[in-house]
Structure 1
Amino acid sequence: MCGVAGLVRFDRDLGAADRTAVAAMTETMSCRGPDAGDIWQGRHALLGHRRLAIIDLPGGRQPMRREVAGHGTAATVALSYSGEIYNFQELRTELTQQGHRFETRSDTEVVLCAYLQWGDAFVERLNGMFAFALWDGRKEELLLVRDRLGVKPLFWQPTSAGALFGSEPKAILAHPEARRDVGIEGLREVFSLTRTPGRTPYTHVREVEPGTVVHVRDTGSRINRYWSLTAQEHTDSLEVTAATVRDLLEDATRRQLVADVPQCVLLSGGLDSSLITAIAARAMRAQGARIPSFAVDFESDAEFEASEMRGEPDPPYARLLAAHADTDHADLVLKDAELMDPRTREAVAAARDVPAGWGDLDTSLYLLFRAIRGKSTVALSGEGADEFFGGYPWFHRPEAVNAAQFPWAGLETFSLGDPATSRLTLLSPELLAELDMEAHTKNAYQEALAEVPRLPGESGLERRMREIGHMHITRWLPEMLDRKDRTSMAVGLEVRVPFCDHRLVEYAFNIPWAMKTFDGREKSLLRLAARDLVPEPILQRKKASYAVTQSPSYMAKLRRTLADVVADSTAPVHQLLDRDALRRAVSAPQGEHTNTGRAAIELVLSLDLWLRRTTPAISV
């Protein structure tokens, strides 16, 4: 998996001070790569790397480099790479036939040799999740490359003489010359749950967009898009389509089980994770092994109360699938006190880099991954199925489908038990007026809508559901992938997502909506593909959101923490807040099972931690 960081500078030769700066940048990635770290230095480039060893533990050290001919003399091509290439063995065979000789068994060396063999077109041959920096000394050019779906993160900041880059913004901000300005557009990105490709809260820090390569030379930078979804007519029958989905998912899952370290699956007992678990368990059994599975549970769920988004607790279903698939299963029970532990919340804030405001959704993920990391280094997850096969409830609500806005816009707090209260109610009226989030969301929606590929002759509901599917893949899924990556890599756990195999995504995107919901239910097609792998109660189970704690003590602790912020006149978050609304939130009556204001409080606390840790230069 790993973390990358570094810089290129073309106006002078790099020296010891530059190396020291890149060492500090690289150190911020130590949680992403706890096993090793190193730096490669050239005349105009410095590549830093932190390694989480997954494949070829002794041989895959980075940055990896080759000396090759260039302009009459030897030049270095160096690579700092994060992620996994799932077809690296096939590529290795092909490259060997082309005359390349390998010194390691790692996929990193395959990426390096693939670039040397095929040049810029090499990235189109890669199947996997990846984000990396490659320096070509022959051309004095930096390439920043990101996978098609954006599973692995990568950011950069152009400078007057080159660029800074890193797996996370914190790596870039660790450089003494980095700019950390946050303007009104940046705050709009903070407060919106809709990702804008390429943008971050920081004015000068950019995201390397999924499916793109950024080229940086002394003459400037350019961005090349090597992948995007296209609209294609779907001619397969229902049975053939279900079989194709199943084949693609089985192939993706088997490929993603290649590792030289312990692996496991994340099992909620929902359809998506159950299907991945069943396929993985069957593949591991063929190798004479049982795969571990882990489910999250909460101490407070002993007195579970059903809600619209989560009608039943997960553990009974997870145990049912585990018994059916014969996994080595464990329920990991999270205590309420852990969810509000200040050290845990600070660790999550550091991992997330920006104030997401997801509260215990993030904290519980972090705690789950931390517990798993003591037993496994790689975990498979069912992320992506809801986006590709129509699993979210708003896919099936006419008022959401027909609205001229993102279908999740009216449900932004759905996971926090707070659908009636906006998460922005504690912001100052002046800031809210300046933000004008309604206009921002409308503009973002129009931008997303303009990007949707169209199929000639497609109209009505099919056309609309193509639009909604595309917006989920490009605007909603990135947030889901980012939070899973950040909270898992904060403890050195690699999470793989078989549903995000680009071949499956391309195929699923073009399946007609009528076929995806052929029996009138969410994810009908996926249920058909899973019919002989998953027990009937799970096949028929209604979609449930990721679990959150229902403990009244959690909300009480949340309010006490907010009260501490209100009482601290030096808290930097006060510049953004309505002090009268804050006092009312702290003193309002709190019923035993009432969650009023929970999303707004979580956002304020996350903002406060962000401002204290990162000290951005905010101008509004």
Structure 2
Amino acid sequence: MCGITGWISYRRDLTAHQESVDAMTETMSCRGPDARGTWVTPRAALGHRRLAVIDLPGGAQPMEAGTDDGAVAMVYSGEAYNYVELREELRRRGHRFTTDSDTEVVLRGYLQWGEEVAGKLNGMYAFAIWDTRTEKLVMIRDRMGIKPFYFYETDDGLLFGSEPKAILANPLATAEVGPDGLREIFSFAKTPGAAVWEGMRELRPGHVAVLDRNGLREHAYWQLTATEHTDSRQETVAHVRELLEDIIARQLVADVPRCSLLSGGLDSSAMTALAAKQLGEHGETVRSFAVDFPGQAENFRAEDISPTQDTPFVHAVKDHVHSDHSDIVLDGAALSDPAVRRAAVGARDLPVGLGDRDNSLYLLFKAVREQSTVALSGESADEVFGGYPWFHDARREAETFPWLAGLAPLDFRGTLSADLADRLDLGTYLHDSYSSAVADTPLKDGESGLEKRMRQVCYLHLTRMVQALLDRKDRMSMAVGLEVRVPFCDHRLVQYVFNTPWSLKTFDGREKSILREATRDLLPESVVQRKKSGYPGSFDPNYVSAIQSQAADLLSAGHAALDLCHRERLREASVADGATITTGQRAQLERALDLAAWFDLHKPVIKLN
């Protein structure tokens, strides 16, 4: 896992711009604390920061391979879980390897198959290859978009990076945010390819982009397709178990300490149990971590997405699978620390407004990183198997993204200044985004009724919602140099379950029926029967009073970020009774504080014309 960046220029001599290349590379130091490297030629400059996970002595980057016609150089982030099989195939084809890294397998795979190497890989990856033979840059991102990749076209080439901050470190890029960028920030739309910053784009999941002297072109090498599901219930459950066994085995491969992120929900518990089973066969014990908050039992309030506390279920699983477990307990003082908020906002490059849930995830990953370098996460199982409450109630029929149906965020005037809310017209933007996503849904011939609608709902989650969650997971983990792997995003599993009929996905009248049945033999009964409960927030009253005080300070100082906010409602939220403060008021506080941190860090130029 690493941070990558680069600069392609067909008119400048980039050997005279080493300082800029170094600056871009250093913004990725958190993603790669173990080593750094640059590769600079007149037309192409590549930068890399390394987090060593496989073949610690080898695998240094940028990596170069020579051919009779010229050199090919690559910067690569991620893991190819099938690299051992690919290396053997390439050896049979005459390739010789000098390292044991998956990086060299990917590079030599390009020499063998060109851009089609993308379709050979199983894993999470984002990489760029400069081919001196044709003076072209090939950029490839994994099928589900687990690893990020951004690019910015210039007058004679292109800048790219794992994160926007790498691109913004180049003098050719400007930190401007226009109306559509603000719409992305405030609407939770997560439009594929959109990157918020003016002139910047995100390489879409499952896509290849190629830059040469004729310009830039992009195409999909993989996308979800609608096919007939012919397996019986028993065969489907058995195949999902078989896939999970293989996926976990592949994703446990590392030359550094590994662990599991355990919430006590079905997803992370099944993943942890499978890891414990496989490691146990080799005499190893799985290490697990969970987040908790002091006084959570007394202060907890059940919500639609989080009806139960995690801790009792976490402990039931750790006792059941005999994991080496640690609870990471985070108090209100730690969560409300302005330095932690700045770190979280800086990691995401955006003021997302999730507040304590982002801050706690950052602190959780930071604590995990002290003991492990690789962690498995149950992220995305809800999107794959249909776990959220709105998959199963009237919200699935709403003419909007189901996770936003009936929620306060649709009343954007609660957070934004009245003038900005009018100018952005977020309701129309969301409607257009939703309509476009639904129209893209692949359908079988003759598919209709509930099955058609649920295929659309699943598609919305797998192409929109999951992107927001994976981006959050990647940024927060890589900000502390922790590699988080997501077994439920294996494209084989995603494609198979996507085509499983909804009636089969809910055969026992519950959410995630297939996953429950496929793994129930591994889990305590309490976890098998537990309903979906999302990543927990803190109910510590000290946290609420702290952010109220911080928001009041912003108002007193007249911080520039508040030009985007509804000041009067923010003022009301800052003095509300902490015991009765509403969810909407708390969201206003979080958003304002995140915006202020974002302004301080990035100094964005807001352009509304």
Q: Same fold (TM over 0.5)?
A: yes
Structure 2 contact 299–540 (Cα < 8 Å) conserved: no
Map 1:162-181; keep pairs closer than 5 Å: 162-181=157-176
Partner of 1:9: 9
Q: Following TM superposition, by how much is the alpha carbon of 1:383 offset from its aligned partner in structure 2, in angstroms?
A: 0.7
Map 1:303-342; keep pairs closer than 5 Å: 303-308=298-303, 309-342=305-338
Does the C-alpha gap of structure 1 residues 120 and 424 become closer, same or farther in structure 2, counting only changes over 3 Å? same
Map 1:120-131; keep pairs closer than 5 Å: 120-131=115-126
In structure 2, what is the Cα distance between the partners aligned to 1:402 and 1:423?
22
Confirm or deny that 1:154 pairs with 2:159.
no
In structure 1, what is the Cα distance between the partners aligned to 2:411 and 2:579?
19
Partner of 1:415: none
Aligned match for 2:242, one of 247, 266, 269: 247
Aligned match for 1:222, one of 201, 217, 233: 217
Confirm or deny that 1:547 pairs with 2:546.
no
Size of the aligned set, in residue pairs, is: 607
Partner of 1:51: 50
Partner of 1:378: 374
**1:446-468 Cα distance to aligned partner (Å, 9 max, x none):** 11011100101111000000000
In structure 2, what is the Cα distance between the partners aligned to 1:36 and 1:556?
42
Give the 3-state SS of the residue equivalent to 1:408 in structure 2: helix
Moved more, 4-13 or 423-432: 423-432
Q: Following TM superposition, by how much is the alpha carbon of 1:219 offset from its aligned partner in structure 2, in angstroms?
A: 1.5
> Which amino acid is the alignment partner of residue 608 of structure 1?
A
> Which amino acid is the alignment partner of residue 194 of structure 1?
A
Identity of aligned residues (%): 52
Q: Following TM superposition, by how much is the alpha carbon of 1:423 offset from its aligned partner in structure 2, in angstroms?
A: 6.4
Does the C-alpha gap of structure 1 residues 424 and 488 become closer, same or farther in structure 2, counting only changes over 3 Å? farther
**1:320-349 Cα distance to aligned partner (Å, 9 max, x none):** 111211211111111111000111111111
In structure 1, what is the Cα distance between the partners aligned to 2:518 and 2:537?
29
Structure 2 contact 412–426 (Cα < 8 Å) conserved: no
Q: Following TM superposition, by how much is the alpha carbon of 1:310 offset from its aligned partner in structure 2, in angstroms?
A: 2.3
Confirm or deny that 1:493 pairs with 2:489.
no
Q: 5+ residue gaps in structure 2?
A: none
TM-score (norm. length: structure 1): 0.96
Q: Following TM superposition, by how much is the alpha carbon of 1:43 offset from its aligned partner in structure 2, in angstroms?
A: 2.4
Give the 3-state SS of the residue equivalent to 1:149 in structure 2: coil
Partner of 1:440: 429
**1:428-485 Cα distance to aligned partner (Å, 9 max, x none):** 1010001111101100001101110010111100000000000101110000001111
Q: Following TM superposition, by how much is the alpha carbon of 1:589 offset from its aligned partner in structure 2, in angstroms?
A: 3.7
Q: Following TM superposition, by how much is the alpha carbon of 1:285 offset from its aligned partner in structure 2, in angstroms?
A: 0.9
Give the 3-state SS of the residue equivalent to 1:245 in structure 2: helix
**1:291-342 Cα distance to aligned partner (Å, 9 max, x none):** 1001111113141434133232211211111121121111111111100011
Q: Following TM superposition, by how much is the alpha carbon of 1:401 offset from its aligned partner in structure 2, in angstroms?
A: 1.3
In structure 2, what is the Cα distance between the partners aligned to 1:285 and 1:579?
57
Q: Following TM superposition, by how much is the alpha carbon of 1:595 offset from its aligned partner in structure 2, in angstroms?
A: 4.4
Q: Following TM superposition, by how much is the alpha carbon of 1:99 offset from its aligned partner in structure 2, in angstroms?
A: 0.6
In structure 2, what is the Cα distance between the partners aligned to 1:592 and 1:183?
36
In structure 1, what is the Cα distance between the partners aligned to 2:56 and 2:146?
23
**1:533-559 Cα distance to aligned partner (Å, 9 max, x none):** 111110001111111001111111111
Give the 3-state SS of the residue equivalent to 2:22 in structure 1: helix
Give the 3-state SS of the residue equivalent to 1:156 in structure 2: strand
Give the 3-state SS of the residue equivalent to 1:532 in structure 2: helix
Q: Following TM superposition, by how much is the alpha carbon of 1:12 offset from its aligned partner in structure 2, in angstroms?
A: 3.1
Partner of 1:81: 76
Give the 3-state SS of the residue equivalent to 1:69 in structure 2: coil
Q: Following TM superposition, by how much is the alpha carbon of 1:420 offset from its aligned partner in structure 2, in angstroms?
A: 8.6
Map 1:184-203; keep pairs closer than 5 Å: 184-203=179-198
Confirm or deny that 1:393 pairs with 2:381.
no
Q: Following TM superposition, by how much is the alpha carbon of 1:159 offset from its aligned partner in structure 2, in angstroms?
A: 0.6
**1:196-249 Cα distance to aligned partner (Å, 9 max, x none):** 000011121100110001101122100021000000010100010011111111
Give the 3-state SS of the residue equivalent to 2:8 in structure 1: strand
Moved more, 589-598 or 526-535: 589-598
**1:172-218 Cα distance to aligned partner (Å, 9 max, x none):** 00001112221111100010112100001112110011000110112
Moved more, 82-91 or 576-585: 576-585
Give the 3-state SS of the residue equivalent to 1:269 in structure 2: coil
In structure 1, what is the Cα distance between the partners aligned to 2:605 and 2:473?
28
CA RMSD of superposed structures (Å): 1.3
In structure 2, what is the Cα distance between the partners aligned to 1:528 and 1:268?
19
In structure 2, what is the Cα distance between the partners aligned to 1:334 and 1:490?
18
In structure 1, what is the Cα distance between the partners aligned to 2:316 and 2:46?
47
Structure 2 contact 562–592 (Cα < 8 Å) conserved: no
Partner of 1:363: 359
Q: Following TM superposition, by how much is the alpha carbon of 1:424 offset from its aligned partner in structure 2, in angstroms?
A: 5.2
Q: 5+ residue gaps in structure 1?
A: 413-418
In structure 2, what is the Cα distance between the partners aligned to 1:577 and 1:385?
35
Give the 3-state SS of the residue equivalent to 1:247 in structure 2: helix
Partner of 2:496: 507
Does the C-alpha gap of structure 1 residues 601 and 131 become closer, same or farther in structure 2, counting only changes over 3 Å? same
Does the C-alpha gap of structure 1 residues 609 and 514 become closer, same or farther in structure 2, counting only changes over 3 Å? same
Give the 3-state SS of the residue equivalent to 1:152 in structure 2: coil
**1:108-128 Cα distance to aligned partner (Å, 9 max, x none):** 000000000111111100000
**1:55-79 Cα distance to aligned partner (Å, 9 max, x none):** 0001110000011122xxxx11001
Confirm or deny that 1:465 pairs with 2:464.
no
Structure 2 contact 141–208 (Cα < 8 Å) conserved: yes
In structure 1, what is the Cα distance between the partners aligned to 2:190 and 2:225?
21
> Which amino acid is the alignment partner of residue 11 of structure 1?
R
Structure 1 contact 257–280 (Cα < 8 Å) conserved: yes
Structure 1 contact 300–549 (Cα < 8 Å) conserved: no
**1:135-165 Cα distance to aligned partner (Å, 9 max, x none):** 0110100011100000000100001100000
> Which amino acid is the alignment partner of residue 51 of structure 1?
R
Partner of 2:597: 609
